[in-house]
Amino acid sequence: MARPEDSLAVLLGVSQLLYLATVLALGLRLSILASRNRQLPEILLAVHFVLCATVGYVLLGVGVPASYEPGMLSPEVMALLIGGGHLASSVGVFAGAAFNYFVFRRGKAWARGLLWLGGLTLSTGYIGYAMSGGFRDGRCEGIWFWLLYGTYTAAAAWVMTEPFAHYYGVMRKHLRLGLVEPLVANRFLLWGGGSVCRFIMLIMGGIPSIFFRHLSPAEWQALTSITLTFVALAGFGVSVTYWLTFFPTPAYKRFLQRRHESAGDEI
């Protein structure tokens, strides 16, 4: 009979493979699109998916757990994984926030200020974390780590807020008047939903690392089981919603059209 931790490992493995396959496909898809049309939003989103969602995620996904077992990897390899992972993530997170600014809040002084503040805290956090030895031991503590992780979280919160809380309402109004296609309007909902799932992944994925040195092994194991279950479920959520955002299937398009025709303003 399968143990609960084995079931969780399988669930997590499948979820993470699906997640990585999805974000890698989206990164490649957007890179091709950006190379063709040279539009800033596409370039920023391609950078975000390739660097933050794929490269940074993989490097930190290997490096941070390895830091739990001192001596498992050489300091040089650890530095490469952690330093490279945070570099890719920081650049990717900034690109994601810049996409948010240029698409939803272009020209707004507060949003421009927020973007540059994010750039400043990312670069300061990265340099401070490196200089304080964070790349060698991968520890998830200290002011520089929190500055970096806090900025990742704040940027993710901003990215999920704009389409979901703000623009979704505008799209419903436009849809009622026939000013936007149901598929395009629905894309904001999917993008927002996927961003909520990624926010959950970021928060839940970070919790075990943060508490690693403060809990007993049994407590930490129990906490990890809970948070990884959320990570696995959110990973499925990201994969489905982001895939439908960028690669809507014919069946999904028909479903939206039927829904729109029957409900009028539902998206």
Partner 1 sequence: MNHSEAFEWTCAELESKSLLNTLEVRGTVRLALKQAGLEPRHVTPEQMRVVLERIMPGELESRAVTDAESVCLSLVPGLSCLAAGTEVETPEDVFKRLSG
**Residue 103, interface with partner 1 (CB under 8 A)?**
yes
Which listed range, 68-76, 150-158, 205-213, 244-252, lies at the site for partner 1 (CB under 8 A)? 244-252
State the CB neighbour count (10 A cutoff) for residue 54.
23
Mutual angle of helices 40-47 and 75-104, in 10-degree steps: 150
**Residue 254, interface with partner 1 (CB under 8 A)?**
no
Question: Could you please report the per-residue DSSP string of 52-95?
Answer: IIIIIHHHHHHHHHHTTSTTSS-HHHHHHHHHHHHHHHHHHHHH
Out of 35, 39, 74, 221, the only residue in the binding site for partner 1 (CB under 8 A) is 39
**Residue 191, interface with partner 1 (CB under 8 A)?**
yes
Which listed range, 8-16, 78-86, 150-158, 184-192, lies at the site for partner 1 (CB under 8 A)? 184-192
Which strand (E) or helix (H) includes residue 124?
helix 109-131
Closer of 104 and 211 to partner 1 (Cβ): 104
Rounded Cα distance, 123 and 90, in Å: 8
Query: CA-CA distances (angstroms) from residue 161 to 120, 156, 206, 215, 231?
Result: 21, 9, 20, 33, 20
Which listed range, 38-46, 120-128, 146-154, 198-206, lies at the site for partner 1 (CB under 8 A)? 38-46
Rounded Cα distance, 157 and 226, in Å: 22
Out of 171, 196, 202, 238, the only residue in the binding site for partner 1 (CB under 8 A) is 171
Which listed range, 88-96, 149-157, 161-169, 201-209, lies at the site for partner 1 (CB under 8 A)? 161-169
Out of 167, 196, 234, 237, the only residue in the binding site for partner 1 (CB under 8 A) is 167
Contact 163, 199 (CB under 8 A): no
Query: CA-CA distances (angstroms) from residue 191 to 61, 68, 198?
Result: 24, 34, 10
Q: Which residues contact 251 (CB under 8 A, 6 or more apart)?
A: none
Out of 49, 145, 158, 246, the only residue in the binding site for partner 1 (CB under 8 A) is 246
Out of 72, 116, 120, 247, the only residue in the binding site for partner 1 (CB under 8 A) is 247
Residue 16: alpha-carbon gap to chain centroid? 13
Which listed range, 79-87, 182-190, 213-221, 233-241, lies at the site for partner 1 (CB under 8 A)? 182-190
Query: Which residues in this chain contact partner 1 in the complex, by CB under 8 A?
Result: 29-30, 33, 37, 39, 41-42, 45, 103-104, 163, 167, 169-174, 177-181, 184, 187-188, 191, 245-248
